[in-house]
Amino acid sequence: MKKINNLFSVSVSKFKGFFGRYTALCCLITAFLLEIYIESFARLSVIDCFIFMFKRPVVFLMNVLIIAVLLFLCLFVKKSFALYATFSIVWIAIGTTNGIVLLNRPFPFTLSDFLILPSVIGIITVYLKVWQIIIIALAIVAAIVGLVFLWKKCDKRPLSLKRDIPKFISAAVLLATLIPVSFLSGWISKDYSDMKTAFNNYGFPYSFSTTVFLRGVQKPTGYDKPDIDDLLEQLKTKRSENEKEEIHPNIIYVQLESFFDVNYLKDVTFSENPCPNFTALKKDYPSGFLSVPHIGGGTANTEFEVLTGMNIEHFSAGEYPYIISLENTFCESIASVLKTRGYSTSAMHNNTGTFYSRHLVYPNLSFDKFIPIEFMYNVEVTSVGWAKDKIMLPEIDQCLTSTPGRDFVFTVSVQPHGVYPNYPTGGSLSVEGVEDEELHNMYSYYINQIYETDAFIGELVSKYSESEEPTVIVFYGDHLPDLQLTEDDLSKGNLYQTEYVIWSNFELSSDKDSPDLEAYQLSAYLLKLLGIDDGLAFGIHNYFSDKNNYDYLMNLAEYDALFGERYYYSTRPDYRSSDMIFGNSEISVYRAEISDSKLKVTGKGFNRYSVVYVNNKKYDTVYISETELWIENFKERADKIYYVSVNQESEHGYAFYTSNNVTADSSP
């Protein structure tokens, strides 16, 4: 062991000496090796990395230089080795993270994943095992401790700016030359519609960097107030020429997680149709294919397109507008359009309310109420922990029956969500034609989940078929599941197409062969069927989708709404963010009683997300029933007054709601 330690010490010493003399050369060699490491993880294959290097040598070199230019910054600090090691570890960490992400979803790691990290902490155990989380945490701690030690102990290197500045400039100029050359040659482009393919074609360092430095919707050429005024005038003219009587039914949107008609799978059969209700609805009601932004994930971006009518492709690669824009910015949506018609607007999701910051976003999309899982009762879960979709049936009904007027209810399901278990999980349906055992188990789990989700669809339609109030329900899938699908596996559609169905309990449209749509066109199409001619993006879809400047007009409207001067909103004084409330049921505390070292809280509206606070201090809470909570082993002091309240909290501690306070009573 002593010999090994001595050998290691000598090797480190020699490398540091070599690094001190040939710093720039070490940075170049390290950048080359890091690029091989990163691209191997990006493809989950070393061989594919070398294929990329030889098929796209210029792009490969461009990515090496991106890493190298960053490493070259160590030339300008005295503790150059410490900075070099820091940047190297950061690139290793990003590349490794990308590989882990790709094992769990079919599109790569971007800056936006850092931004949504706080909202996914509560579900991270669905994707990673506890021991994996522990190893990752230990690796992060070890890297931080190691770097802190290195920065403290690292020797200082004498600076030689006359020697090093030309090296840095040469690398930067070469990089600045290769990027436009690659664009002009078609080796890279701005097209990230298929993110995984684009990242593989353009290289991970370059693609990841675009998600850091290019944000939001780029300003269109000639953007100014007259452009918006001219667009609004054109829409006003079109609308005056196409006036129709408006229909105001109750409207329910059901965004179906990872849902698609599995009968389109080639050479795969099932013991019975896993989605009989959805299949039947497609035959009798307006339906078609729906092009969505992602496969295997990105639920919030499909949701964003459907609600706002905006095209996610106009945003930078890998972005989530919910995170970068809508947490603090009002945006027109179908909810805001319907709200001006007197609709009450509700959203619900049988998952945590903080996911994709929906608790902050929904008020800016004009929702009056949000019912996340923290406000649902008697929740059943799948074998991997996702809530079953049928839990939303009573919540939808309560939204519609608790208001005197019409309602718009937007629901997001979660039951068929991945990751799909590669071990047997049972179920009433079986699948044939999938030879690989692990993939067969994944398919088996998936079809049994969509079978139950389809039953939820059937129950929803059955319930409102008999309703006296006119009702429209829009069903659509948010993306295809991550089941290692390829285009060749599908007999209809493609990997970026789900389907929609518009059901109604009255004659809404005689057109049973409705058009295939982009997700951002779906709400515009529904509003057109209802004769509701309003909204900037929705108007552009309905009147200019066949015009040459359609894409430009959309770009113009999106930039103005979220990143520009918001000229359009100055014409809409009726638009504002909502004072959104949470849940359908009131949560109140009636009494708190201390007896036998136990604090018993009595009230209403409690569930497993209810947490008792005493004098603003959080206590471990035992859920007994919807009317009773306990704190066990509560140590009472006779001379102290205890003020008791109940919070509804997410699993990572975000408080959506705080009840009234009561004073605890003591029992003899």
Q: Of 603, 623, 602, 600, give the one whose Cα is nearest residue 611.
A: 623
**CB-based contacts of 367: which residues, under 8 Å, 6+ apart?**
335, 345, 346, 347, 410, 578, 580
Q: How far apart are CA 115 and CA 213, in angstroms?
A: 14
What is the 3-state secondary structure of 348-410?
Answer: EECCCCCHHHHHHHHHHHCCCEEEEHHHCCCCCECCCCCECHHHHHHHHHHHHHCCCCCEEEE
- 665/570: higher pLDDT: 570
Report in angstroms the alpha-carbon separations of 383 from 124, 216, 259, 406.
16, 38, 18, 37
Reply yes or no on whether the pLDDT at 103 is more than 60.
Answer: yes
Domain with CATH 2.60.40.10 in the chain: 586-666
pLDDT (average), residues 78-82: 86
pLDDT tier, 4 (very low <50, low <70, confident <90, very high otherwise): low
DSSP 313: G
* Helix segments in 128-269, DSSP class H: 130-153, 161-184, 195-202, 204-213, 225-241
Taking alpha carbons only, the member of 461, 427, 463, 466 closest to residue 443 is 427
Range from 163-167, 606-610, 634-638 that averages highest in pLDDT = 606-610
Q: Give mean pLDDT, residues 212-235.
A: 90
Is 137's pLDDT higher than 90? no
- Per residue in 524-552, pLDDT tens? 999 999 999 999 999 999 999 999 999 99
Which has more pLDDT, 418 or 193?
A: 418
Q: What average pLDDT does the segment 622-636 reach?
A: 93
Return d(Cα 453, Cα 310) in angstroms, integer. 28
Tell me if 634 sits within 8 A of 666, measured CB to CB.
no
Query: Strand, helix or coil at 625?
Result: strand
Q: Which DSSP helix (H) or strand (E) runs through 628?
A: strand 628-632
Q: In this predicted structure, what is the pLDDT of residue 386?
A: 94
Question: Quick check: 351 pLDDT over 60?
Answer: yes
Contacts 24+ apart (CB under 8 A), 207-214: 207/108, 207/317, 208/94, 208/98, 208/108, 208/109, 208/110, 208/111, 209/66, 210/316, 210/317, 211/110, 211/111, 211/112, 211/316, 211/317, 211/318, 211/319, 212/111, 214/316, 214/317
Nearest-angstrom CA–CA distance, 623 and 75:
60
**Residue 623 β-bridge partners:** 629
Q: Rounded CA gap, 474 and 469, in Å?
A: 16
Bridge partners of 474, per DSSP, are 253, 502
Q: What are phi and psi of 566, to 5 degrees?
A: 60, 45
Quick check: helix, strand or coil at residue 498?
strand
3-state SS of the chain: helix, strand, coil percent to 5? 50, 15, 35
Nearest to 400 by CA among 527, 501, 530, 251: 251
CATH 3.40.720.10 residue ranges of the chain are 248-550
What's the pLDDT at 135? 76
Alpha-carbon distances of 568 from 44, 248, 331, rounded to whole Å: 46, 25, 11
3 state DSSP class of 447: helix
C-alpha 345/C-alpha 402 separation (Å) is: 12
pLDDT at 454 over 70: yes
Residue type, 245: E
pLDDT at residue 36, as a whole number: 96
Higher pLDDT, 6 or 209: 209
Out of 176-190, 457-471, 536-550, 600-614, which region has the weakest mean confidence (pLDDT)?
A: 176-190
Cα separations (Å) of 303 from 87, 402, 413, 667?
37, 25, 11, 52
- Predicted pLDDT at 373: 97
> Which residue's structure tokens are 């659509």?
476
Tokens of 53: 């290097």
The residues that bridge with 288 in the sheet, in sequence order, are 500
Q: What pLDDT is attached to residue 114?
A: 77
For residue 528, give the nearest of 310, 289, 288, 246 by alpha carbon: 246
Predicted confidence (pLDDT) at residue 239 exceeds the cutoff of 90: yes
pLDDT grade for 18, boundaries at 50, 70 and 90: low
Which of 1.10.3720.10, 2.60.40.10, 2.40.50.100, 3.30.420.40 would CATH assign to domain 586-666? 2.60.40.10
Cis? peptide before 379, omega within 30° of 0: no
Q: What DSSP element (H or E) covers 112? A: helix 111-115
- Give the pLDDT confidence score for residue 132 in this predicted structure: 66
Closest CA to 599 of 582, 584, 585, 619: 619
The strand pairing partners of 665, in sequence order, are 593
For the segment 250-270, what is each residue's pLDDT rounded down to a tens digit?
Answer: 999 999 999 999 999 999 999
Rounded to 5°, the CA angle 240-241-246 comes to 65
pLDDT confidence band for 330 (50 / 70 / 90): very high
Residue 638 burial class via C-beta count within 10 angstroms: exposed 0-12, middle 13-18, buried 19 and up = exposed
Structure confidence at residue 379 (pLDDT): 94
**What pLDDT does 22 receive?**
77
- Tell me: domain 248-550, CATH 3.40.640.10, correct? no
The length of the chain in residues reads 668
Contact present, 295 and 479 (Cβ < 8 Å): yes
Band of the pLDDT at 632, cuts 50, 70, 90?
very high
Angle between helix 46-55 and helix 23-43 axes, rounded to 10 deg: 110
Judged on CB neighbours under 10 Å (0-12, 13-18, 19+), 7 is exposed
pLDDT value at 15 more than 80: no
Residues 152-204 have pLDDT tens digits of 878 777 777 778 888 889 989 999 999 999 999 889 988 887 888 889 999 99
Query: CA of 7: how far to CAs of 4, 10, 82, 359, in Å?
Result: 5, 5, 22, 56
